[in-house]
Structure 1
Amino acid sequence: MIEIKTITAEQVLPIRHQVLWPHFPPEHSKVTGDEDALHVGAYKDQKLVCVASVFREGNSARLRKFATLPSYQGVGIGSQVIEHILTIVKQEGGETFWCDARESAFGFYQRFGMTTIGETFYKEDIPYKKMSVALSSRSD
């Protein structure tokens, strides 16, 4: 069973670093505004295995630094985390949910009704596009 709950900025950093930017120093995984963001963690057998951070900007919410430990990827944990976050954002009056998505993850985000916006851009040679969904258009 997966337990999803709010966690601290400090708790997300080890998984962010290990999964997203392991070849950089751990500080590279920090984000300006972490202290004010919503951080969510998924636990499997009391072990933190997936983290995500949500930064609110007016009526929109931006997903940043979403990471699942490799041995726990592909089994639905990330999907449960996104659904949990979408529920919170909608309950709090959020109208738009968006992220800068790695090209390799487009299919994952499309399952939540997200569509690509704009041109491809690169972060450290990794291709990304902005993806977004209007929460009022989602049927939960």
Structure 2
Amino acid sequence: MEIVTLNWEETIPVRHKVLWPDKPPSFCKVEGDESGRHYGVKIEGALVCVASVYIDAGSARLRKFATLEEFQNRGIGTALLQHMIEDSKSLHVKKFWFDARESAIEFYRRFGFSMEGGRFFKSEIAYFKMAKSLVA
């Protein structure tokens, strides 16, 4: 397993396949991609997991975290999330947050993230805002 940095265009195929397969690939691009920090995990040279972090005013927002289905539940997402949190700390980020799909809430709770606010929907999928302070 190798954690790598990517450009935003490299994230689109995995984002599309995992998160929004019923939408066009262009739906998977987000505002700010050009200035975001993009990460990936490669297994035997193949990109199997991607995520993007957007830093603004001491806050880091995680978006489009996706692992190919056949590579889920192998610790790949865990390793990448830990890497992104540590990278954000090194950049003096104070708060790390994201909109989590309801189906992933328990995964994020294991890392100390808490829900903020109530359920909301994006394209008929339920989400919750989750956050964690990175300041000791």
Q: TM-score, normalised by structure 2?
A: 0.98
User: Residue 73 of structure 2 aligns to a residue in which SS?
Assistant: coil
Structure 1: tracts of 5 or more residues without a match? none
Q: Provide the rounded CA distance (Å) in 2 between the counterparts of 1:66 and 1:130.
A: 14
Counterparts of 1:135 and 1:112, CA distance in 2:
11
Once the 2 structures are TM-superposed, how far is the Cα of residue 22 of structure 1 from its aligned partner? Answer: 0.4
Residue aligning to 2:129: 130
1:89 partner amino acid: S
In structure 2, what is the equivalent of residue 44 of structure 1? 43
Q: Which residue of 2 aligns with 1:72?
A: 71
Counterparts of 1:21-60 in structure 2, within 5 Å, are 21-60=20-59
Q: Secondary structure at the match of 1:136?
A: coil
Name the residue aligned to 2:14: 15
**2:87 corresponds to which residue?**
88
1:37 to partner: Cα distance: 0.1
Structure 1 residue aligned with 2:115: 116
Which 4+ runs in 1 deviate beyond 6 A? none
Structure 2 unaligned runs (5+)? none
Give me the whole-angstrom Cα distance separating, in 2, the residues matched to 1:124 and 1:31.
15
Corresponding letter in the other structure for 1:34? D
**Equivalent residue for 1:97?**
96
Deviation sequence 1:79-125 (CA, Å, 0-9, x none): 00000000100000001000000000001111111000001000111
Provide the aligned C-alpha RMSD in A.
0.6
Amino acid across the alignment from 2:104: A
Q: Percent of aligned positions with the same letter in both sequences?
A: 47
Code of the aligned partner of 1:72 = F
Amino acid at match of 1:116: M
Q: TM-score, normalised by structure 1?
A: 0.96
Q: Counterpart of 2:4?
A: 5
How far, CA to CA, are the matches of 1:108 and 1:44 in structure 2? 22
